[in-house]
Chains A and B, each alone.
Chain A
């Protein structure tokens, strides 16, 4: 652990302690050390517990997911809780998405923004995956990330690294180099492994429908079988629903037990959105251009 990482950790703890002691928030959502050397999400309710909070290069989780759990009051008639949340730059973009979609209220969230040097491969999982991904490597999504400072915060902790990275969508280029026939074959081979566990959807802060349209009891849009056709429909449909809303945090790909290259779907659509609308999800708290209603008298693009 570098000295700056240790300092960041101390500052997070100090801020959490202050917020809880002063009753500015009821809960601090951050990271803690779990079992087997893993980092995991932490929910701190007492000032005495803030030493559970950690900050290191294993803090891979996008904690904005848990803001959906804090939307309702603990008891009827009460106000929803005020929470503090630790966010990396990528996570902070999800805050803007959720703000624009009125899923969270800005006044109810105290944002502890942390600058980021990149997260390690194998983070979030135990030693089994270390065999696959040596711990000294930085995740691919971080290698192409130029934003090392959160886009929204109430307090900013850490020194941003001096980097200049251009995201040239090299990951998507490999996909685009395939012929349509090759591309279909590639994806059907991936979907075949999918077990429809919905981990990708559940970990995504952008997926918050009470009843997912791909999981309806009446099978209206897609059946529940684990056939390739059904899984293709689910993954493509979900990717389209996230177009211009996905902040590319890559958690979907990390959590997939069958190691589907899910980020490629979202990244491909993110590239299209950049080119078509010059838009990137979460940079500002505005709705995705695909969701924006046309005002009276406005002409559609096409």
Chain B
């Protein structure tokens, strides 16, 4: 295995911070988040999972699609900005998996979303393995692992004295070029695994659609957006033109794309006032079916990476693992009686 010392790693990160927009886990008033850092001294190296996923680095919570400039009667649309090269360091494998799921939505299915694609192309993912699975984690049940290199460009795993460096892609090879790495025998330690969660196969989810379970589960839902916003794979958005600047004969409007959530009560309300998802049950059902059925049908990717953030964040203990257990049990019961 190739190993980098902690000191050499910090030197490298300081260099990256100067050359690119470097994002890494940082403490923001005590909360660990993937945030821009100006140097390695701001980076937290020992953490479980950042409170939010890394999706906001490529899919920001507010994104300017295009600026519309009006000068008198003339209208021009501004050219998109050039994307600065960015690096996400310390990316947990589940969060990298989440980015792959967003890739499947925004790039994998035509038409390609241009601003997402631009930003994605400019981003290099440097992952950091988890030494263990944390409370609420079930990545191994969702096709991942705490040390899964599948979705990153480079994967670091902590060993005594430093980290192993595993360049997985060409982008990864390029970013570690010139780094001082020692060749050591052996392999990095495997992480301690956690619980396994039964996940109903995709094609069996429609059987559960009309269950009363969803209404009962959603009774305690408060209709906030915390689960959606902390999730690495949730990607619904709203589009709105808003005034950015206004003078006598000149105005600039930004066409903004902002995060939205299907759990929000007015999510599907039409201009005429009709709401096809009028109950919390129909909305929560949509959330889970989107993750475990719709997304695989529409984009070939499951909308859950087993990070467990929604479990920690939900104020009323709507526990996705508990739900998966319940759904599997319900389907097994049907099998027995059939």
Chains A and B in contact, CB within 8 Å: yes
Q: Is B82 an interface residue (CB 8 A)?
A: no
Q: Is A126 an interface residue (CB 8 A)?
A: yes
Distance to closest chain A CB from B236 (angstroms): 13
Q: Is A202 an interface residue (CB 8 A)?
A: yes
Query: CA of A259 to CA of B136 in the docked complex: distance in angstroms?
Result: 20
Q: Name B230's closest neighbour in chain A (CB-CB).
A: A257
B135 in complex: contacting residue of A127, A132, A251, CB < 8 Å: A127
> Are B229 and A41 within 8 A (Cβ)?
no
Residues of B within 8 A of A38 (CB): 317
Residues of A within 8 A of B61 (CB): 195-196, 226
Chain A interface bracket (under 10, 10 to 19, 20 to 34, 35 or more) = 35 or more
Distance to closest chain A CB from B313 (angstroms): 5
Residues of B within 8 A of A35 (CB): 311, 317, 319, 321-322
Query: CA of A34 to CA of B31 in the docked complex: distance in angstroms?
Result: 25
Residues of B within 8 A of A13 (CB): none
A197 in complex: contacting residue of B29, B229, B311, CB < 8 Å: B229
Distance to closest chain A CB from B137 (angstroms): 11
Given A224-B258, A225-B256: A197 and B224 interface contact (C-beta under 8 Å):
yes
> Are A259 and B30 within 8 A (Cβ)?
yes
Chain B positions 18-67 with a Cβ under 8 Å from a chain A Cβ: 28-31, 48, 51-52, 61-62
A193 in complex: contacting residue of B28, B134, B222, B256, CB < 8 Å: B28
Query: CA of A198 to CA of B265 in the docked complex: distance in angstroms?
Result: 12
Count contacts on B: residues with CB < 8 A to the other chain: 41
Q: Is B112 an interface residue (CB 8 A)?
A: no
Q: Is B83 an interface residue (CB 8 A)?
A: no
> Are B317 and A226 within 8 A (Cβ)?
no
Given A225-B256, A259-B30: A126 and B266 interface contact (C-beta under 8 Å):
no
Distance to closest chain A CB from B242 (angstroms): 4
- A61-69, A145-153, A155-163, A171-179: which lies at the interface: A61-69
Distance to closest chain A CB from B23 (angstroms): 16
Query: CA of A30 to CA of B238 in the docked complex: distance in angstroms?
Result: 36
Q: Is B109 an interface residue (CB 8 A)?
A: no
Chain A positions 7-46 with a Cβ under 8 Å from a chain B Cβ: 34-36, 38-43
Distance to closest chain B CB from A94 (angstroms): 14
Given A224-B240, A225-B242, A227-B62: A195 and B52 interface contact (C-beta under 8 Å):
yes
Given A203-B224, A211-B266, A226-B62: A126 and B136 interface contact (C-beta under 8 Å):
yes
Query: CA of A98 to CA of B135 in the docked complex: distance in angstroms?
Result: 38
Query: CA of A132 to CA of B228 in the docked complex: distance in angstroms?
Result: 23
Query: CA of A198 to CA of B227 in the docked complex: distance in angstroms?
Result: 11
> Are A224 and B238 within 8 A (Cβ)?
yes
Q: Counting chain A CB atoms within 10 Å of each CB, which of B134, B135, B222 scores highest?
A: B222
A126 in complex: contacting residue of B29, B135, B223, B280, CB < 8 Å: B135
**Contact string against B for A residues 185-219, beta-carbon threshold 8 Å, 1 for contact and 0 otherwise:** 00001100101111101110000001100010001
Query: CA of A16 to CA of B52 in the docked complex: distance in angstroms?
Result: 40
Q: Name A190's closest neighbour in chain B (CB-CB).
A: B29
Q: Name A222's closest neighbour in chain B (CB-CB).
A: B242
Residues of B within 8 A of A251 (CB): 315
Q: Is A279 an interface residue (CB 8 A)?
A: no
Query: CA of A198 to CA of B242 in the docked complex: distance in angstroms?
Result: 21
Query: CA of A223 to CA of B154 in the docked complex: distance in angstroms?
Result: 39
Q: Is B15 an interface residue (CB 8 A)?
A: no
Residues of B within 8 A of A257 (CB): 51, 226, 229-230, 313
Q: Is B6 an interface residue (CB 8 A)?
A: no
Query: CA of A132 to CA of B48 in the docked complex: distance in angstroms?
Result: 13
Q: Is B180 an interface residue (CB 8 A)?
A: no
A128 in complex: contacting residue of B135, B256, B259, B264, CB < 8 Å: B135
Q: Is B190 an interface residue (CB 8 A)?
A: no
Query: CA of A34 to CA of B311 in the docked complex: distance in angstroms?
Result: 12
Residues of A within 8 A of B317 (CB): 34-36, 38-40, 124, 126
A-B contact pairs, 29 of them (CB 8 A): A35-B321, A35-B322, A38-B317, A40-B316, A40-B317, A65-B222, A124-B315, A126-B135, A126-B312, A126-B317, A128-B48, A128-B135, A129-B312, A195-B52, A197-B224, A197-B225, A197-B228, A199-B225, A203-B224, A219-B242, A224-B240, A224-B256, A224-B258, A226-B62, A226-B258, A257-B229, A257-B230, A259-B29, A259-B30
Give A contacts to B, CB under 8 Å: 34-36, 38-43, 61, 65-66, 69, 124-129, 132, 189-190, 193, 195-199, 201-203, 210-211, 215, 219, 223-227, 251, 254-255, 257-259
User: Which 4 residue pairs across A and B have the least CB separation, nearest first?
Assistant: A34-B317, A40-B317, A199-B224, A255-B315
